Amino acid sequence: MENALIETEWLVVGGGPAGATAAKYLAKSGKNVLLLQRDMQFKKPCGGGLRKDAFATFGIEKRLIEFEVESIDLHYKNRHVSVSLGDNRLAIVDRIRFDRTLRQYAADAGARLEEGRFLFFKRLENGFEVTAEIGGRRNIIHTRGLIAADGVNSQLRKQLTGSTPPAYLTHYADIEDRGDRQVHFHFGHDIAGSLYAWDFLESGGRNIGTLTDAKSFERFYKRLKCKVPTKVKGYKIPKYESPLFEHSGVYFVGDAAGLVLPFTYEGIYYAMASGEILSRSIITSEKSESDTYETLWEKAYGEKFDTLKRLERFALASDWRIALMMTLFKRDSVRRRMIALWLEDTKVPKGLRLWKSVIRHLLNGT
Ligand SMILES: Cc1cc2nc3c(=O)[nH]c(=O)nc-3n(C[C@H](O)[C@H](O)[C@H](O)COP(=O)(O)OP(=O)(O)OC[C@H]3O[C@@H](n4cnc5c(N)ncnc54)[C@H](O)[C@@H]3O)c2cc1C
């Protein structure tokens, strides 16, 4: 069958939070946008937790919030700290519903939405030629701009750079609802290495998992004394290591760029933020001299991401440091600052600047 030819100004590959948000803002500004999503029913493996302020920031309807989390519980061996989130609630969403609605927002703003799979691309003098499978047949798409929003297994990134983003392989499973309405984070090298394990509320039950290997996951669910999960799954989550914003004229957003917040491994909010920042940089650069996407990102989130990376490396590197973190978390001032750093503005609070320099000193001797 003959290849069909589609022409567009911007092609966004991947209709998760990053791609749908980029497509929405570009389309809103009057650009001709095609949003290509492999599977409209895809449920991204994800706890679905995100900063509640995301709904106001990105114009998302609050009806998509399944639950609001008022406090979180931190555990290390037999120690336990309950941390109230105050006004900075964490919202839990159902990823099928959430992603579908974000794509609908993009379509409402004027983007063309297609169910199809990106296959490969080549550069043209004035843009790109992309081959995609849409409706069971190969289509050729000519586009001036190309955005990779195809997640942690980004084929676009692989084809351009030879590899997908650096990532951890998580292990997780759905378990029975035990009537517990809390969100728990568990630390300790036996169950989570130098990261964390989670026990989250989700629509229809609970989801437990660890950011590390299958053996640690086994120790974790045994510790929770829950029924042995019948289906343990694995899925990658990017590490925040030298994120990729642009390569050979192709822009990267969300997981494909490697923009997941260290320490908490929260990627939904920052996927949407990267989509918004990229589209803003594209729109403004056409009108005047302006900052690049990478510069705008760094200004907004660079310090926050670097601080959390350092805190993660410092606080979770060994069990005695985790014990120290648990002790520090008993202090109200520390709790408040950490919650603000995690769920609030992008500025690093004053006290944390101090921590940052102490940590830098301890890590680098500088
Ligand atoms: C187990 C687990 C738990 C997590 N829990 C949380 C959490 O609670 N909170 C949080 O904030 N983050 C969490 N994350 C991270 C979060 O899921 C991601 O950071 C977020 O989904 C990134 O959004 P994205 O749009 O960049 O990528 P994705 O959500 O992965 O979207 C990429 C889209 O591209 C599509 N696609 C892929 N390949 C192609 C192709 N070839 N052609 C067309 N389309 C394609 C996919 O179908 C997908 O819809 C978790 C991750 C894991 C693995």
- CB of 147 within 6 A of ligand 1: the answer is no
Q: For all residues of the chain together, what is the average pLDDT?
A: 91
Q: How far, in Å, from the CA of 287 to the mean position of ligand 1?
A: 32
Pocket test for ligand 1, best of 114, 195, 255 (most atoms within 8 A of CB): 255
pLDDT, tens digit, 9 for 90 and up, residues 1-55: 557 899 999 999 999 999 999 999 999 999 999 999 999 999 999 999 999 999 9
- CB of 258 within 6 A of ligand 1: the answer is no
CB-CB neighbours of 332 under 10 Å: 9
Q: How far, in Å, from the CA of 360 to the mean position of ligand 1?
A: 31
> What is the rounded CA–CA span in Å between residue 175 and residue 202?
10
Which atom of ligand 1 is least distant from the CA of 155? 41
Dig out the tokens for 307 from the structure.
């601080």
Claim: this prediction has a pTM higher than 0.85: yes
**Spatial CB neighbours of 66, under 8 Å, sequence gap ≥ 6:** 48, 92, 93, 94, 202, 203
pLDDT, tens digit, 9 for 90 and up, residues 306-342: 999 999 999 999 999 999 999 888 888 888 888 888 8
* Domain-wise residue ranges, the chain: 4-48+94-166+242-290, 68-91+167-238, 303-364
Residue nearest to atom 17 of ligand 1 (CA): 46
Which atom of ligand 1 is least distant from the CA of 267? 19
Pocket test for ligand 1, best of 34, 46, 72, 170 (most atoms within 8 A of CB): 46
> What is the rounded CA–CA span in Å between residue 240 and residue 257?
9
Among 150-154, 215-219, 237-241, 358-362, where is mean pLDDT lowest? Answer: 358-362
Residue nearest to atom 48 of ligand 1 (CA): 16
The string of DSSP letters for 149-189 reads ---TT-HHHHHHHSSPPPEEEEEEEEE---S---EEEEE-H
Residue ranges of E strands in the chain = 4-13, 33-37, 49-51, 65-69, 71-76, 79-84, 90-93, 112-124, 127-134, 137-148, 167-175, 183-187, 197-202, 205-210, 233-238, 246-247, 250-252
Q: Are 276 and 297 in contact (CB under 8 A)?
A: no
Q: 68-91+167-238: same fold as 4-48+94-166+242-290?
A: no
Which atom of ligand 1 is least distant from the CA of 259? 19
CA distances for 49 relative to 66, 264, 269, angstroms:
10, 10, 9
pLDDT reported for residue 357? 57
Residue nearest to atom 29 of ligand 1 (CA): 16
Residue nearest to atom 30 of ligand 1 (CA): 151
pLDDT, tens digit, 9 for 90 and up, residues 137-150: 999 999 999 999 99
Return the biggest CA–CA distance within the chain: 67
pLDDT at 353 over 70: no
Structural fold of domain 68-91+167-238: D-Amino Acid Oxidase; Chain A, domain 2 (3.30.9)
- 366 — pLDDT class (breaks 50, 70, 90): very low
Q: 4-48+94-166+242-290 maps to which CATH number?
A: 3.50.50.60
- CB of 36 within 6 A of ligand 1: the answer is yes
Mean pLDDT across the stretch 269-273?
98
